[in-house]
Structure 1
Amino acid sequence: MPQTKQITPNFGHGDRRFGAVNWLGLQTLAKREILRFANVWTQTLLAPLVTAGLFMLIFTIAIGSKRGDVMGVSFSTFIAPGILMMTVIQNAFANTSSSLVISKVQGNIVDTLMPPLSAFELVLGYLAGGVARGLVVAMAIGLGLWAVLGIVPAHPFVALAFVILGATFMSAVGILAGIIANKFDQMAAITNFIVTPLAFLSGTFYSVEALPPVLYQITHLNPVFYLIDGARWGIIGVSDSNPMFGFGFALVSTLAICTLAWAWFHRGYRLKA
């Protein structure tokens, strides 16, 4: 009786973990992730821009005239970089998490896991889509801030570095969330109770110097705070913390999250049928 060969998903085991990279497979996965959000640009790119504009408008009208200057700049100028980074990290998270959850719900996650892609390549491919979406959103909002408020980045390369780091960090967090969640309501819970509070309570709309001592200390343990604060330094030249320390703290956090994402792909955690 002839034997049938059983095909099992490739979760990164084998002899190509960090060796020779499957560039064609990596490029294909990255291209798929980028085209996935580009094909529905009104939802993935235009909608965040409108939301960011509404935040700026509402806070400027409701608080701006009464708030006065913050750290030597107008309130509108102060919150602009925070809104930009908040939008970047939310979209980077949404890109990777939604891609994985949709694939799991539709049952076609095996199409990603079966090809000869290592766990390292899978992580890089998904990160490429999230970072690309974050960069496009950041550039669009940056152009809007220049056109409306006349804001020109004080340290453009610093701002770019923090935007890329922030998009990478939250893309990796999105990978973890997408692996954990098996249903859309589980993903919604992660977004509403973890991602949104991190974005809103990290100095986006205020200086952390105004916080009570306990909250002040807790905030300085949050990588998102350093991402937003670093972007503020890069764009308008003011910050609540040392940008170099913040970049290092956020970089270490990003490497830790990316390593965990690699480990979960490598093990097939919550991905094996």
Structure 2
Amino acid sequence: MQNLADQDMRRFGAVNWMGLWTLAQRETLRFLAVWTQTLLAPLVTAGLFLLIFNIAVGPGRPDVMGVPFLTFLAPGIMMMTVIQNAFANTSSSMVIAKVQGNIVDTLMPPLSPLEILLGYLAGGIARGVLIALVVAAALALVLGLVPAHPLIALAFVVLGAAFMGGLGLFAGIFANKFDQMAAITNFIVTPLAFLSGTFYSVEALPPLLNRLSHANPVFYLIDGLRFGMIGVSDSSPLLGLAVCGGATLAVCAVTWQMLRTGYRLKA
């Protein structure tokens, strides 16, 4: 009877802190166990992007927004790396659990939909923040780049990881097979990351493409981190925080509804 009472308390608002912590710990340890793939590989990828652009563009490239091109490019590559890995962390965890049939191990414990959502997001945010710290340390060593506004940079990193972690969980619930997950990554996530001012200032785009870029939440994530790292941006950081916060809440609300109804999770 006591166990039933405890479950009723959780159902009507009390938080299952032990269950939430356990799920968050599982999602964090899952990527730390293969740190060469989840932390070292993104660092190498970010370094290759910078190296290739440095070789292709050369030292004669004019400054962008008053800063050297590589300095302008670095925050965009950092955010792109953060959001791609946050998305991969939650989406792969959910899809693998569904394909292997062990999703029941997550659904059966007395965890509310919100607790499941927060547990998965914790893993995605932890991976995103750790990758950002690793890349930032490398940028400081190689380019001498020190964040101009570290708290703003951290805020956008956390928001970016939360937004794409929520989107990854949404995609993982929606997809029933790995090829469906690959299609979402290739046709939605990658274009959002690449067509958002990662490698250029959107002010250089034609008016139509400029307006379309401003409708992309990832643009505000990259632009906000750029302001936090080097002190320049195409739009207001406050506007970016508002847009990214709203987009994150919207994605998480839809994902929470999918978890609550058991959409594509329960037979």
TM-score normalised per structure 1: 0.94
CA contact (8 A) 1:17 1:119 kept: no
Distance apart, 1:16 and its partner CA:
3.5
Query: In the superposition, relative to structure 1, how do residues 48 and 66 fare at CA in structure 2: closer, same or farther (>3 Å)?
Result: same
Distance apart, 1:178 and its partner CA:
0.2
Instruction: Flag structure 1 segments of 5+ consecutive residues without an equivalent.
Output: 1-12
Aligned residues: 261
Residue in structure 2 matched with residue 25 of structure 1 by the alignment: 19
Distance apart, 1:60 and its partner CA:
1.2
Alignment RMSD, CA only? 1.2
1:211 equivalenced with 2:205 (yes/no)? yes
Instruction: Flag structure 2 segments of 5+ consecutive residues without an equivalent.
Output: 1-6
Query: How far apart are the structure 2 equivalents of 1:125 and 1:149?
Result: 36
Deviations 1:150-185 (A, max 9, x none): 000000000000000000000000000000111111
Distance apart, 1:18 and its partner CA:
6.6
Aligned AA (2:109)? P
1:251 equivalenced with 2:245 (yes/no)? yes
Aligned structure 1 segments of 4 or more residues deviating by more than 4 angstroms: none
**Counterparts of residues 1-273 of structure 1 (less than 5 Å):** 16-17=10-11, 19-273=13-267
Distance apart, 1:68 and its partner CA:
1.3
Give the secondary-structure state (helix, strand or coil) at the position aligned to 1:87.
Answer: helix
Give the secondary-structure state (helix, strand or coil) at the position aligned to 1:81.
Answer: helix
Query: In the superposition, relative to structure 1, how do residues 18 and 223 fare at CA in structure 2: closer, same or farther (>3 Å)?
Result: farther
Deviations 1:243-270 (A, max 9, x none): 1011101100100111111111000011
Query: In the superposition, relative to structure 1, how do residues 169 and 75 fare at CA in structure 2: closer, same or farther (>3 Å)?
Result: same
Query: How far apart are the structure 1 equivalents of 2:233 and 2:8?
Result: 46
Deviations 1:86-126 (A, max 9, x none): 00000000000000000001000001000000000000000
Q: Percent of aligned pairs with the same residue?
A: 71
Give the secondary-structure state (helix, strand or coil) at the position aligned to 2:235.
Answer: coil
CA contact (8 A) 1:85 1:166 kept: yes
Aligned AA (2:221)? L
Residue in structure 2 matched with residue 6 of structure 1 by the alignment: none
